[in-house]
Chains A and B, each alone.
Chain A
Amino acid sequence: MNTLIIALKHEAYHVIKRYQLTLAVHQPFKVYQNENLRVVLSGVGKSASHAATKFALEDRNTHNGLWINFGVAGDRTLPIGSLVSISKVTENDTDRRWYPSIKQANKHCVKELLTYSTAVNQYPLNSCCDMEAAGFMAAVSETICSEHIHVLKLISDNTSSGIGNLTKILMKHLVEEKMSLIGDYIKSAEQHLSIEPKKLPRNAEKMCQEQHFTVTQTRQLLELYRSFSALCPDETWPSIKVNSGDKASEIIAKLRLQITQLSPKL
């Protein structure tokens, strides 16, 4: 499951439409989702973005997907409608820095970004500017692998057409025009995700339900399962005899013994 943190509904409108997302959560943040993607509407500003990201992170099942902060941004020189993969986010007030993953392609550019607390008219020299990315990065970097984190911005204002000209309609229109590129970006970023940890096979899951396995014991079982399937990829697991009265610790000890006996001999 990929997660997009977007400030405003107008920015998210065409994403929601294209991926046929439905409203799944109303409070404290609106969440639109389907099986593979969810959009969390954070509201404007880095505090809102931070809070929405923290809220979204509570669902641990989504941690292996992409985490993207998407939205409009300003830039001194880039043309309106440019799609930008952000390579470095700096919080203007504190100078804290983060380095999201980037994608290089001809159809979008790569640039650094400054996050401000308020909207600005004076664009920074060599960076894009926004109001959310630093909040997103501060929250997401504590939990999610750096390769899964992206900040993708769409230039909505520049020195020729300042923030005063930015309307809800223009925002929607800009996103609509770039929807295909945004989709390509997500697909391409997905290809570099880390390998998801192997889940327990069904019979082992059943074992966990029948006997009481603590969280640590479940982890130990998964570890043993990985070892067993690495050493004996063609064999069915578990091939040990488990009695109904066996405690979780006894099952783990039996499995550990069996795997130890697989050790090679010269």
Chain B
Amino acid sequence: MRDDPLTIEILKRYQNAVIVGCSHYGELFNRRKQNFRTQKQNPTLIVARKDNKRILPTPGEYAVDAKHNFYFSHMLNCLYDCRYCFLQGMFRSASHVVFVNYSDFKADLTRYIEDTKDSICFYSGYDCDSLALDPITDFTRNFVPLFKPYRHAFMELRTKSTQIRNLLAMEPLPNIICAFSLSPTEIVEKYEAKTPSLDARLAAITSLRDAGWNIALRFDPIIFVDDFYTVYKNFFNHVYDALEGRQIHSITLGSFRLPKTFHKNMKRLYPDEPLLINGLSPINKQITYEENLEKKMIAWCERSLKNLDFVTPVYIQKPIV
């Protein structure tokens, strides 16, 4: 591990860091009695190998339009500190884990791709932000070219980041989808700590689109706020004004929702956070907005988006019921 070229590159960037050896990342990352909130103030970077289960099927609601859908994570956790993020409830630790055995990931991806002739999509931003640490992990430079020979294989890079320099330096591929999570400025400022502003994300989107990359918009989670209609109406208008008619690959819409156990953990971490209580109720194994509220919010958002853009397909990410 220490001799892996990527490990060496990463360590070069943190020359004053204290390096502590461990035999498996789980010794630190998965131990009991950790406080995610406290660790988030000063997270540790864990450089590790992922020895198994590198590629996993997506949860049912996560996919867009491919026949086979999988996700993989070259990182666990995220630089950003979004109050609604399920990672806070899923992981015991806020440490950033970077898996450096890219060759194993790439071998697995190739095997999955070559095993089918149907459309197959890999999501890379489920347990992390796909691009936020790209200058350090070199994720895109390593993984994007792998998809070039395969027309039926797609990869979604899901991000809030503006770290697009590596992508701009590459030849754009039609089967790579740069999916940006967007929220109204009011929500970015209140709930998406440490993330780039909405306008910075929109600028990254237009640069990538102009360079020929596929762009997708992810309005997920839609969050109930005071003056919801005005806030989201202005937001959708602002996004489409910035896009100036540029073509979009797809849109997904999803209301704020969490698995019950994650919600419980998050409430314990942030007992005073109204977002984790306001209007939420349990539906089977999930916590989400009360049914009527959720339906009205999503239906209104879908109508508003269709009014602005009747071409791009809109996919609704529903709570699991």
> What residues on B are CB-neighbors of A194 within 8 Å?
35, 37-38
A87/B38 in contact, CB under 8 A: no
A220-252 contacts to B, CB under 8 A, are 223, 226-227, 229-231
Residues of chain B lying within 8 A (CB to CB) of residue A68: none
Give bound CA distance, A263 to B274, whole Å. 11
A193 to B300, CA, bound (A): 43
Given A198-B272, A266-B297: A145 in contact with B33 (beta carbons within 8 A) = yes
**Chain B residues whose CB sits within 8 angstroms of the CB of A150 once the complex forms:** none
| A229 partner residues in chain B, CB cutoff 8 A | 272
Distance of A38 Cα from B228 Cα, bound (Å) = 52
Residues of A within 8 A of B (CB-CB), count: 33
A194 to B269, CA, bound (A): 9
A102 touches B272 (CB 8 A): no
Once A and B bind, how many residue pairs between them come within 8 Å at the CB atom?
83
Q: Is the CB of A226 within 8 A of B224?
A: no
Q: Does B277 make an interface contact (CB < 8 A)?
A: yes
Residue A176, interface by CB 8 Å: no
B94 to chain A, nearest CB (A): 10
Q: Which residue of B lies closest to A225 (CB)?
A: B271
CA distance A110 to B228 in the complex (A): 51
Are A193 and B273 neighbours in the complex by a CB distance under 8 Å?
A: no
* A193-B38 in contact (CB<8A): yes
Distance between Cα atoms of A167 and B21 in the complex (Å)? 34
Given contacts A263-B278, A264-B293, A266-B297, are A99 and B18 in contact (CB under 8 A)? no
Contact call A266/B293, Cβ cutoff below 8 A = yes
Residues of A within 8 A of B23 (CB): 97
Whether A143 sits at the interface, judged by CB under 8 Å, is yes
Quick check: B38 and A192 within 8 Å, CB to CB?
A: yes
Q: How far is the CA of A104 from the CA of B23 in the complex (A)?
A: 23
Interface string of A188-205 (1 = CB under 8 A from B): 000011110110000000
A141 beta carbon closer than 8 Å to chain B:
yes
- Contact of A99 with B27 at beta-carbon distance under 8 Å, contacts A104-B18, A231-B277 already known: yes
Flag if B34 contacts A145 (CB, 8 Å).
yes
| Minimum distance in angstroms from B278 CB to a CB of chain A | 6
Shortest CB distance B20–A (Å)? 5
Using an 8 Å CB-CB cutoff, how does the interface string of B1-28 with A read, 1 for contact, 0 for none?
0000000000000001010111100011
**Which positions 26-68 of chain B face chain A at CB distance < 8 Å?**
27-28, 31-35, 37-39, 41-42
Closest 10 CB pairs of A and B: A226-B271, A194-B35, A264-B279, A147-B38, A194-B38, A263-B279, A87-B20, A110-B18, A230-B274, A266-B296
